[in-house]
């Protein structure tokens, strides 16, 4: 599982204004392990591999409590991009544990229902395509990795939260650049 900072929240999913304390009795490392395990087991149980798992949050090395505890887990399953975003709780570990329970619920659907039921459930969690990385970075179709990196650096200087920018905008810019790197290195 890859970690991504800052939080990349999916378009169309509202953010919570107030958050609950949560009653999960777990640590950050235990909740993270639970999410990793439940996603892996879901892929095994469904007989369909889960790939490209990215855990996106505002947790950084050395930071104990980010202001925004939201967490989004992105992954591919059956060729579609899925995102499970949770910011219901006041702590990152509680939001991670909630994602674990969402994945466990999908495993229960597999055991007691059908694969079709799980597909229908995931239809609501399908990450809607946003603008392409080229649109986000303001580049044309001919731009390569060097241009993407140059534009990413320029936009990062303008929009970084340390310089008064919005974390969500910086997350969009970072996600666009990571997508560009992945796409262009796969085409090389």
- What is the mean pLDDT of each successive set of 10 residues along the chain, which is 188 residues long? 73 83 90 95 94 86 74 89 92 95 95 88 68 84 92 90 76 86 78
The confidence score (pLDDT) of residue 63 equals 59
The confidence score (pLDDT) of residue 100 equals 97
- In whole angstroms, give the CA distance from residue 157 to residue 170: 10
Two tokens, residue 26: 């777990």
CATH code assigned to 133-186? 1.10.287
The confidence score (pLDDT) of residue 62 equals 60
The confidence score (pLDDT) of residue 90 equals 93
For residues 89 and 19, the answer to whether their CB atoms sit within 8 Å is yes
For residues 88 and 20, the answer to whether their CB atoms sit within 8 Å is yes
12: alpha, beta or left, given left = phi > 0 and alpha = psi -120 to 50?
left
- Strand pairing class (71-77; 2-4): unpaired
The confidence score (pLDDT) of residue 147 equals 94
- In whole angstroms, give the CA distance from residue 71 to residue 84: 8
Where, residue-wise, is CATH 1.10.287 in the chain?
Answer: 133-186
First to last CA, the chain: 24
């Amino acid at each position: 599982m890859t970690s991504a900072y800052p939080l990349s929240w999916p378009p169309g999913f509202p953010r919570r204004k107030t958050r609950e304390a949560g009653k999960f009795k777990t640590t950050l490392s235990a909740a993270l392990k639970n999410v990793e395990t439940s996603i892996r087991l879901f892929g095994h149980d469904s007989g369909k591999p889960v790939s490209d798992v990215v855990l996106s949050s505002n947790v950084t090395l050395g930071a104990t409590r980010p202001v925004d505890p939201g967490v989004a887990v992105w992954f591919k399953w059956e060729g579609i991009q899925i995102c499970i975003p949770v910011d219901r709780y006041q702590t990152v570990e509680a939001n991670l544990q909630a994602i674990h329970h969402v994945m466990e619920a999908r495993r229960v659907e597999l055991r007691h229902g059908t694969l079709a039921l799980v597909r229908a459930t995931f239809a609501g969690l399908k990450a809607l395509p946003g603008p392409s990385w080229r649109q986000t970075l303001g580049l044309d179709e001919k731009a390569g990795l060097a241009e993407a990196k140059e534009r990413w650096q320029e936009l990062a200087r303008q929009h970084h939260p340390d310089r008064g920018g919005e974390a969500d905008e910086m997350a969009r810019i970072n996600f666009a650049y990571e997508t560009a790197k992945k796409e262009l290195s796969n085409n090389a």
